Structure 1
Amino acid sequence: MAESQISASNTSVGTWPAILTLVLFFIANIAVIFPVRLPIPFTVVRATRRILTVVPILPEGSDSDPQLAKRTYLHLNFITIPFISVLILLAAGVFGAGTLRDGIVGTGGVRPLNIMGLFISLAYISISLDATGLFRFLAFWVASRGGSSGRKLFTYLYLFFSLCGIVVGNDPVILVGTPFLAYFTRVAGINPPTAWIFSHFAVANMGRLFWVAFKPYAAHVVLPFLAAAVCVFPVLLFVLFRSPTLVPRRIDIGLEPEEVHATLVDRKGAIFGGALLVATLAVLVGVSTIGVPVWMVTVPPAVIMLVRDIWYDWSRRHLRQNPRSPTPLDGTSTLPSAASGVIREDVVISEKTPSCHELRELHGSNEAVSSPPSPLDSGPLPAVQPSHKTRPRAALLPRLLATRAALSATFPTVTYVAARLPVALLPFAFLMFILVQGLAAQGWVQVFARWWDAWVRRTGTLGAVGGMGFLTCVLCNFCGTNIGATILLARVLQEWTSSSSAAVNPRTRDGAIYAVAIGSNFGAPTLTFSASLAGLLWLQINRQKGIQVRGLQFLVLNLPISFVAMLAASVVLVGQVYVEHPSI
């Protein structure tokens, strides 16, 4: 290839705004990977409480709260540090309204608002389905019907999640598959569930590579995906998870069909929500080739599911207010009276996983539920004496807590789902998009493009594919998820191809472009949870289900998976670009 030079940027990265942006960007990413907490002095806590009492937000007497004896901490994590970094850059005049707008609305074909709309709407539908007991029911059903061979079932699920990732992408597979596997491994008595949850996470992200988009793209990534999927499977089953404890030779839970059906606490809700989710994903796949924004497909079904949950809670409020009323539940299945002998609660339930009994109470039960005693039942009331004391002012916080309690009592399903929505991931994603946009605005993209050009001129097509694949996998962990890495590297490649003084080799160009696509998906299971939104979501769902995954465990198990996947896919990709451009 003829030697090419990237033109120098008009924006100098030697200025203090550019250097400050880069430094704060790396600090924000370090805080995402290694969060810390700093103790707040007791004097500061007491002074703050006094101010909030005077406002008034806290009730009077909060200064004597025994909770004050406990140490309060300032958490420097994936939200606070990026937020502080953006505030510093705004206050210093480095960022303007345009940078903020581009970081939230998006530029160059990437629309963060669109992505977040897809993310949170599918999350609501999936968590609402979990509240109906559907995933628990499916776990029992699969465990009782899937045969006795653990390895066979492991293989079937690997193929199934691969197909689902191809059709609907990784986020829906993570949202639906993670709670399913949490229930399934408990039902089957598989402890720890490491093999199943890590294999599911890896294959869901690999399948996302081939998610239906447009024909030229799909034609270039189908063979790399197949190569990665075929090579990773034996690594999972025969190397990483070969122990019979992780993948049992036999799985037999011995439940009768009626016992399995007893786990479905809201049959109509499960059917309605399941049909809505399937229809949403089908439409999402159908419109993926015609440029319809994905939020227009996913947000309306989420609103429909929300309205259904509100109606469901409101129509059953009398069951919670008058629990002894023998009103039927209209489509909500009930557990047998001797449920403790039918459902193996010791295997299925953890303290963070809602049991069948808890889900029944969530949806309204016809069994008696304890309620606070009425003052009329506690004997004669004492005579009321006139008081000349001034009533304390009503503080804001107790009012908000009382309002929340009332809403929770009236709409338990909605509050259950809302409490589990990954809302905290939204500000994190937007803040990291803004910081990545700030790097581009300060001229760092042009610098990175010159470095990339120098690398390609020395290493050729092999270096372009291998180098870009490696860079993408690594930067997924340090650029605010794989989305941020894709945005940054796509702009680097755009600058590289548009600013070259000589034509870029098409073979090298195509290899680098598709290496970014492969690395952004295979980079999700690499070093840190924050390498992808799916990883953060996966971690949160597992924690809600009582499954703890350590950061070091995530790194150690995922590194060989991502290495084998990237190696197999990159070899196939190199062969493809040489076949496609043979005469260069």
Structure 2
Amino acid sequence: MASDSLSVFSWVTLVCFVVVIVLCIRPISLPLRVPVGKKTWHVALDLATAPVLGVLFLLATNSIGGQVVADGFLGSPDSIQPFSVVILVFALAYICISIDVTGFFEFVAFQVALRGGTNGKRLFLYLFLLSTVMTIFTSNDVVVLTVTPIVCYLTEETKTKRTAYLLSTFIACNIASMALYIGNPTNIVVAQAYEINFIQYSAWMLLPTAVSLIIAYIMCWFVLLPDIPTELPSPPPNAAQRYRIRRKWGAAIGCTVLLVCLIALMVVPIFAHVPVWELTLPFAVVMIVKDVILDVWVDRQSKGQTIEGAALEMAQRGPNGSSGQGLIAYIPGDQSREDVQIFEVPPSNFHTTNHTSHTEHAPAESIQDRRGAPILEEFPPDECRRSVASKPSSLSSEDSDSPSSRILPTVMMITRRLPWKLVPFSFGMFMLCEALSANGWVALLAKVMARTSVGGHMLPIVFFTGVITTLACNIMNNLPMAILFARVFEHPEFEATAQSVIGGGDVAATATTVDALRRGGMFALIVGSNLGANLTFIGSLAGLMWADLLRKRDVVISQTNFLKKCVLITPVVLVGTLAVLIAEFVVQRYYV
């Protein structure tokens, strides 16, 4: 199809894309009654199924062909390769979860909270710094699922206002995720589209991230100051036991592997062009081997306590104390209790409901019978029941009593927590963006973005891209937005339109300017895809998880209240970050 024309298929593709986005943000469950028996099948239309069904619909209506599907899976060597993005995310996810199940992240977070003592303002600073540092070396999702439960627990036990702490840590992690290549899947998508390696990415984004964090802290301080308590009660006496390192050797090995992985990502690109996923995957394999060895050999040598107990303990905490990477612990949504199982992993988009006898979770007593009393003794009975009820499948008998779970409890638990729904979601969105490109929409957007340079200037295109992508996150979520706009900036129409806007007879100078404009737009896109999460819950997958996590803890922070606070903070941070980005281009002597 001509890139400058729109047809009926173009509009069908656009409508399909919009419907898929809505279903991903607001998943629904369709009941299917079976004529025989008393069971009802429920089909989930959510992150895992909606993009795939959207692609199948476009294929059925001849809106796209098989080549579009292939491009959405394989990509091209000199551009985005969807399969490599997914492999990279899963490799990093396994490394982070493997460290997490040792209790290391929770231990660090709790120790930092303890250092805040009874001074509420000092604790505010420490938690902000904790979220920043943890996000830089892991990801924003790890912080959301690690720090948030600890803040909820401590403030609940001490009867302290929690709004300021929750908002500041969430805002900090979504800003700090800009710093490194691995901080957010959107960073990976954009960097891969423009072939930016780990070192190049960090060289450009570390300074804007540092400045934006300083601005964010100042703004959070003034906006949230009324919600920051002056004095805090001491934490409950059993808190230290609750947040301990359960496996010190595993934590030490895991942190070492993660550190070496980060060093390799920084050093290797200097000497050789090696895809990032090829660098990261071996470290994930090392972690798998480590977990297998600890499961099969080390834990068999210990008496009376195995890692399965630690795994069961993590499962019992559920959203109250689990952490992870991306969609690791659970997929957020507005599902009812009857639909909870739809969102569990491993992915299964069908489940049955028995109308005469419906059981949502295994009772705590049955867990105690299977594994003995020591694990449950560490937690109050009410807390255990609340955790078990909120995460039923983690404690199902088929999971904990299966041969694989008995032999390799750690590996199997980590595998179940991997973001499996991110696979169909990512590939489906890549294919849908390819469909938008094949039907003329990406070309149209590319022309619009090129014209925002206003004669080839860096300043307007960077600010326009940063603002529009930040807002777009809150309409379509940041991952689909990043995929779409990355396609826009690498589309041939962007270069052609930019050249016509710039004009002039010096072909080499024009080409250099166009390349600079594309680079400026790409980095502004990274800024928007991260900061966009700090306006509404739907701005990112981390935001959806955060809101769902608070809901399960009966913590009330409404979308309206969240927006009222963040709308005073995020625009200032966005302008400051984009200004630093522009300054970097000025120093590099790009035409602004």
Conserved 8 A contact 1:35-1:76: yes
2:495 to 477, 480, 497: 497
Over 3 Å counting, the alpha-carbon distance change for 1:317 and 1:152 in structure 2 is: closer
Equivalent residue number for residue 577 of structure 2: 569
Residue 524 of structure 1 aligns to a residue whose secondary structure is helix
Matches of 2:134 and 2:42, distance apart in 1: 42
Residue 523 of structure 1 aligns to a residue whose secondary structure is helix
Per-residue deviation, 1:252: 2.9
Tell me the alpha carbon deviations over residues 344-403 of structure 1, each in whole angstroms, 9 at most, x when there is no partner: x9xxx9674469x99x98997796999xxxxxxxxxxxxxxxxxxxxxxxxxxxxx9599
Matches of 2:54 and 2:399, distance apart in 1: 36
Equivalent residue number for residue 124 of structure 2: 154
RMSD, matched Cα: 4.4
Number of equivalences? 495
Matches of 1:333 and 1:84, distance apart in 2: 39
Conserved 8 A contact 2:92-2:284: yes
1:230 aligns with 2:211: no
Residue 534 of structure 2 aligns to a residue whose secondary structure is coil
| Larger mean Cα displacement after TM superposition, 118-127 or 183-192 | 183-192
For structure 2, the 5+ residue unaligned runs are 182-196, 323-363, 378-396, 505-509
Could you tell me the percent identity over the aligned residues? 27
Over 3 Å counting, the alpha-carbon distance change for 1:514 and 1:103 in structure 2 is: same
Matches of 1:125 and 1:543, distance apart in 2: 28
Per-residue deviation, 1:466: 2.5
Residue 29 of structure 2 aligns to a residue whose secondary structure is strand
Equivalent residue number for residue 250 of structure 2: 269
Per-residue deviation, 1:469: 1.3
How do 1:181-260 residues align onto structure 2 when only pairs under 5 Å count?
Answer: 181-183=148-150, 185-187=152-154, 189=157, 193-211=162-180, 213=197, 220-240=204-224, 242-244=226-228, 249-250=231-232, 252-253=234-235, 255=237, 260=241
Conserved 8 A contact 2:461-2:520: yes
Conserved 8 A contact 2:299-2:306: no
Over 3 Å counting, the alpha-carbon distance change for 1:485 and 1:291 in structure 2 is: farther
Per-residue deviation, 1:103: 1.4
Equivalent residue number for residue 137 of structure 1: 107
Per-residue deviation, 1:441: 1.9
**One-letter identity of the residue aligned with 1:516:** L
| Larger mean Cα displacement after TM superposition, 124-133 or 452-461 | 452-461
Conserved 8 A contact 1:140-1:260: no
Per-residue deviation, 1:428: 0.8
Matches of 2:407 and 2:576, distance apart in 1: 54
1:465 aligns with 2:462: yes
Conserved 8 A contact 2:103-2:245: yes
**One-letter identity of the residue aligned with 2:469:** T
Over 3 Å counting, the alpha-carbon distance change for 1:553 and 1:231 in structure 2 is: same
Over 3 Å counting, the alpha-carbon distance change for 1:34 and 1:251 in structure 2 is: same
Equivalent residue number for residue 522 of structure 1: 531
Tell me the alpha carbon deviations over residues 299-339 of structure 1, each in whole angstroms, 9 at most, x when there is no partner: 333333333333434448879xxxxxx936599999xxxxx
Per-residue deviation, 1:266: 2.4
Per-residue deviation, 1:23: 1.6
Tell me the alpha carbon deviations over residues 181-218 of structure 1, each in whole angstroms, 9 at most, x when there is no partner: 42355246466654444433333332333427567665
How do 1:338-357 residues align onto structure 2 when only pairs under 5 Å count?
Answer: 352-353=319-320
**One-letter identity of the residue aligned with 2:533:** A
Equivalent residue number for residue 119 of structure 1: 89
Conserved 8 A contact 1:150-1:251: no
**One-letter identity of the residue aligned with 2:28:** V
Conserved 8 A contact 1:422-1:537: no
**One-letter identity of the residue aligned with 1:20:** V
Conserved 8 A contact 1:313-1:411: yes
- TM-score by structure 2 length? 0.69
Conserved 8 A contact 1:352-1:546: no
**One-letter identity of the residue aligned with 2:495:** T
Larger Rg: 1
Equivalent residue number for residue 408 of structure 2: 411
Matches of 1:46 and 1:268, distance apart in 2: 51
How do 1:345-494 residues align onto structure 2 when only pairs under 5 Å count?
Answer: 352-353=319-320, 405-457=402-454, 462-477=459-474, 478=476, 480-492=479-491
